[in-house]
Amino acid sequence: MAGTETALKEAPASIEGATGVALVDYTTGMALGTTGGSKGFDLNVAAAGNTDVVRAKMRTMEHLGLKGRIEDILITLTDKYHLIRLLSGRGGDGLFLYLVLDAERSDLAMARHQLRRSEQDLEV
């Protein structure tokens, strides 16, 4: 089991093309921890904005009567992938991991696999 800080530091190093990662509380929109980002890309602002994405998808599922659980939400931009992985179990309810990937340097399938492993190792 890895603590939040350790897991956030290890994720970008273990995921090819990762440029930033955040652990986010979607009930408040606050990032509980971040690693990476850049001068032109504020992970805290992105985390808060993606909270709205998660909430909207959950509302839509409720209105449709869908009983499944969201695993990932993928947003593809021309040069970046934004991957949102909702956490479950061990105190992870209400939290998601947010990963930003360089589309040209990353393997999306491997990134999803590694993010899933990071979730399993994360101690919240």
The tally of domains found in the chain comes to: 1
> The whole model's pTM is what?
0.89
Three-state DSSP class for 28? Answer: coil
Nearest to 114 by CA among 68, 83, 80: 83
> Which pLDDT does position 110 carry in this prediction?
92
- Residue-number span of the structural domain to which 24 is assigned: 4-121
Asked whether residue 55 carries a pLDDT value surpassing 50, the answer given is yes
Please report, for the domain that includes residue 37, its CATH number. Answer: 3.30.450.30
Distance from C-alpha of 19 to C-alpha of 115, rounded to nearest angstrom: 13
